[in-house]
């Protein structure tokens, strides 16, 4: 079992959503982003960190540093379900390949349509395949 699958199973079993896993080039740093509907506090991060530390010792996962964090207000959108969950919010999207000579889009998330993310930019709705999105982040409004 890969480390990311192990982390996802463990975090889900604890009642959290795994948002993202980042590793350093040599895999020495593991950065885990977790979330839940009520939000994440320091106690949540500490609890997941302690649990994963013990699990990694048992599973012989080699790493130097573990960081567990909330995804923040500018959270990354990784899964199709994220575009449904955050419908109505502002988003910035960077595509892997340009569409009409454009790779960057900013607009409002409409939701999902046939498994594709729908984003309204101005008065125009654009549909993007999830696999074609390089990065997507919420834009916090204060």
What's the mean pLDDT in 87-105?
A: 94
Pairwise CA distance, residues 45 & 51, whole Å: 10
Confidence band for 53, pLDDT divided at 50, 70 and 90: very high
Instruction: Reply yes or no on whether the pLDDT at 44 is more than 90.
Output: yes
How do residues 57-86 score in pLDDT, each as one tens digit? 999 988 899 999 999 999 999 899 999 999
31 and 84 assigned to the same domain: no
Confidence band for 3, pLDDT divided at 50, 70 and 90: confident
Contact call for residues 90 and 138 (beta carbons, < 8 A): yes
65 and 30 assigned to the same domain: yes
Pairwise CA distance, residues 126 & 131, whole Å: 15
Confidence band for 35, pLDDT divided at 50, 70 and 90: very high
Instruction: Reply yes or no on whether the pLDDT at 48 is more than 90.
Output: yes
Pairwise CA distance, residues 127 & 107, whole Å: 12
Average pLDDT over all residues of the chain? 92
Domain count, the chain: 2
What's the mean pLDDT in 88-92?
A: 96
Residue 124's alpha-carbon distances to 119, 120, 127, 129, in angstroms, are: 8, 6, 10, 17
Last residue of a domain, one of 46, 69, 92: 69
104 and 54 assigned to the same domain: no
Phi, psi of 23 (to 5 degrees): -130, 155
Instruction: Reply yes or no on whether the pLDDT at 1 is more than 70.
Output: no
Q: Taking Cα atoms as reference points, which of 63, 86, 65 lies closest to residue 136?
A: 86
120 and 99 assigned to the same domain: yes
Stated length of the chain = 142
Domain span including residue 96: 80-138
The pTM score is 0.82
What's the mean pLDDT in 99-127?
A: 93
Instruction: Reply yes or no on whether the pLDDT at 13 is more than 90.
Output: yes
């Amino acid at each position: 079992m890969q480390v990311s699958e192990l982390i996802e199973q463990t975090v889900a079993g604890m009642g959290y959503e795994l948002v993202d896993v980042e590793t350093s080039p040599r895999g020495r740093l593991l950065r885990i982003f977790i979330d839940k509907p009520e939000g994440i506090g320091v106690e949540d991060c500490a609890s997941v960190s302690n649990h994963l530390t013990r699990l990694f010792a048992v599973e012989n996962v080699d790493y130097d540093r573990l960081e567990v964090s909330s995804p923040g207000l500018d959270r990354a959108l990784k899964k199709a379900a994220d575009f449904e969950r955050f419908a109505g919010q502002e988003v910035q999207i960077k595509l892997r390949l340009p569409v009409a000579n454009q790779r960057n889009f900013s607009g409002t998330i409409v939701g999902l349509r046939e498994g594709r993310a729908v984003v309204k930019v101005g008065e125009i709705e654009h549909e993007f395949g999830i696999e074609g999105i390089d990065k997507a982040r919420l834009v916090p409004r204060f």
